Amino acid sequence: MINWDELKHIHVIRKLGEILAQWFTTDIFFIDERGQIKNFDPSRLDSELRNPLSSALLAKERGRLIFMKTLADANEKALKSELDHHSIPGPAGIERFIVSRITVDREYLGSVVAYCYLEDQLTPAMITQAKQTLGAFGLDESGYMESLSQLKVLDEQERRYFLELVDLVAQEVVTFHTEISRREERISALNNELGVRYSYDSMIGKSKPMQDLYGLLDKIRSSESTVLIQGENGTGKELIAKAIHYNSPRKDSQFVTVNCSAFNENLLDSELFGHVKGSFTGAIKDKKGLFEVADKGTLFLDEIGDMPLSMQVKLLRVLQQGTLTPVGSTEQRKVDVRVVAATNKDLKEMIDDMQFREDLYYRINVINLVVPPLRDRKEDIPILIDHFVNRGCKEKNLAVKTFAKRAMERIFDYPWPGNIRELENEIERLIVLTGEDKNISMEILSARIRDHGETLKMQGARVAGKLKDSLEELEKSMIKEGLRRTNWNKSRLAKELGISRAGLIMKVEKYRLDKRKIPRSGEAA
């Protein structure tokens, strides 16, 4: 089933509708496979309709009935046909409208109807015919003549563009529908999987990559080997390091974190290995290094890719010998520490660039954990959201909030360059913004998340290619024809086309339609 209500929120579809309304004065209707109109609400009549005849017909009970009947007949025709679209006469008999089929997996799901236009200038004979046809329907024909005269007359070329645009709307509906179903299938398949683990300590996630990670963490529980955790920013490297420690036999000793990028070389040296009194200015007493603080426990070397080369040598020695020498001392001390290191850098590449020692790399990379970015495990997004919402609301003593479906979808579609941390911050922000309100709507999402899908869709291959080309061609021909008709009166033409004068001038420039560049007939080129 197509989610018809959602269609009006799809940017491309809305945009195409606006273009059709603006250039051809047509309205777009969606009908389902039984021929029922899906996007017409009598209570909001005038605000949405742009076509003079559909507005007039739908405004009155009788006209509405006839109109609905016409569309139901058109649906019958589309249903039984193999053709992508049909051009069909409307209730007045002389105006025409387009019905373009929506087909998914060869199944007919409904149509897009674009109502309506004229193929020829109105003649007295046509007016008589319209009066008769409308009269036969029991419609008060005189009221509709004004509307008929306002309809756009489309020549053959314009009709071709017009049809192409209507077909594009139908294609966009198909794209939207398939995308949504695929996403829903993926989520429900995952939710139905039995026996998957939901979390590991405070780590949340039940996607396949996370299950693999949990499996690995189980295996290395009682191992003493060093671990290297690699992953992009905010993917949970620190959380994993903690899980390793708190699930190991060392859990009753300390878990100590050193951020290697936060110190210069000398400070890192004394921070890690300690120093003796007087070894440098400011060393007023002996100080234990973090290696010793972590004795019998775990030392987490965060951002190890930022460790200066000279320090890498020292670290390698400690890892190989199990002994260290504090700064300014000659005495060697024994330590029993398990090292877990993390980085978001590509250490292999750094080795090639001589920025990281290969021997140290192999020494720390005994067990390698790669944390998948959030964009590769979107299935985890709903449970992560649940987790962050529950936690955040509890902290703030608020009733638990729920997400509007559309807000959820936008969050799902966003590529999360900042990963879980970015998601966590966004949820925190939404909780604060909604205050006592229990619903989180799409409108309050951060703009980058809310608007992401839209720009993406507008840049999509098909839209960027076919639509853009055909729109440009149409635009060019309309401007060219308009310039001749208005005798190069750009202000008047701009008004007619509904764009600014500056905008028109730019387009004239772009399409090289300037008067001086178009040779007049009879003039030598």
Ligand X SMILES: Nc1ncnc2c1ncn2[C@@H]1O[C@H](COP(=O)(O)OP(=O)(O)OP(=O)(O)O)[C@@H](O)[C@H]1O
Binding site for Mg ion (CB under 5 A): 237-238
For ligand X, which residue of 85, 206, 237, 378 counts as binding (CB under 6 A)? 237
Q: Should residue 421 be labelled a site residue for ligand X when binding is judged by CB under 6 A? A: yes
Q: Least distance to ligand X from the beta carbon of 210, Å?
A: 7
For ligand X, which residue of 111, 230, 235, 270 counts as binding (CB under 6 A)? 235
Residue among 303 and 496 whose Cβ is closer to ligand X: 303
Residue among 269 and 424 whose Cβ is closer to ligand X: 424
Q: Least distance to Mg ion from the beta carbon of 238, Å?
A: 4
Residue 437 tokens read as 């309100």
**Contact of 4 with 39, CB cutoff 8 Å:** yes
Cα–Cα distance, 65 to 49 (Å, whole number): 17
Residue 233 contact, options ligand X, Mg ion, none, Cβ 5-8 Å cut-off depending on partner type: ligand X
Give Cβ neighbours of residue 349 (< 8 Å, ≥ 6 apart): none
Angle between helices 11-24 and 468-485 (to 10 degrees): 20
Q: Least distance to ligand X from the beta carbon of 388, Å?
A: 8
Residue nearest to Mg ion (CB): 238
For ligand X, which residue of 244, 256, 258, 420 counts as binding (CB under 6 A)? 420
Q: Least distance to Mg ion from the beta carbon of 389, Å?
A: 23
Q: What is the maximal distance between C-alpha atoms in the chain?
A: 112
For ligand X, which residue of 239, 293, 458, 478 counts as binding (CB under 6 A)? 239
How far from each other are the two terminal CA atoms of the chain, in whole angstroms?
59
Long-range contacts of the stretch 125-130 (C-beta < 8 A, 24+): 126/94, 129/93, 129/94, 130/92, 130/93, 130/94, 130/95
Cα–Cα distance, 188 to 105 (Å, whole number): 21
Q: Least distance to ligand X from the beta carbon of 387, Å?
A: 6
Helix (H) / strand (E) element for 116: namely strand 107-117
**Which amino acid is residue 294, in one-letter code?**
A
For ligand X, which residue of 191, 233, 310, 441 counts as binding (CB under 6 A)? 233
Q: Least distance to ligand X from the beta carbon of 237, Å?
A: 3
**Contact of 203 with 240, CB cutoff 8 Å:** yes
Q: Least distance to ligand X from the beta carbon of 203, Å?
A: 4
Q: Should residue 422 be labelled a site residue for ligand X when binding is judged by CB under 6 A? A: no
For ligand X, which residue of 35, 236, 372, 392 counts as binding (CB under 6 A)? 236
Please identify, among the stretches 235-243, 286-294, 481-489, 516-524, the one whose residues bind ligand X according to the rule CB under 6 A: 235-243
Q: Should residue 297 be labelled a site residue for ligand X when binding is judged by CB under 6 A? A: no
Contact pattern from residue 196 through residue 215 relative to ligand X, giving x for each residue in contact according to CB under 6 A and a dash for the rest: -------xxx----------
For ligand X, which residue of 90, 91, 234, 392 counts as binding (CB under 6 A)? 234
Q: Where are the beta strands (DSSP E) in 344-415?
A: 367-370, 402-403
Contact pattern from residue 334 through residue 373 relative to ligand X, giving x for each residue in contact according to CB under 6 A and a dash for the rest: ----------x-----------------------------
Count of CB atoms situated within 10 Å of the CB of 354: 9
Beta bridge partners of 327: 275
Residue from 96, 93, 10 nearest 85 by CA: 96
Cα–Cα distance, 401 to 389 (Å, whole number): 7
Q: Least distance to Mg ion from the beta carbon of 376, Å?
A: 19
| DSSP letter assigned to residue 459 | T
Residue among 238 and 454 whose Cβ is closer to Mg ion: 238
Residue nearest to ligand X (CB): 236
Residue whose pair of structure tokens reads 């300590």 in the numeric block: 201
Residues forming contacts to ligand X in the complex (CB under 6 A) are 203-205, 231, 233-239, 344, 420-421, 424
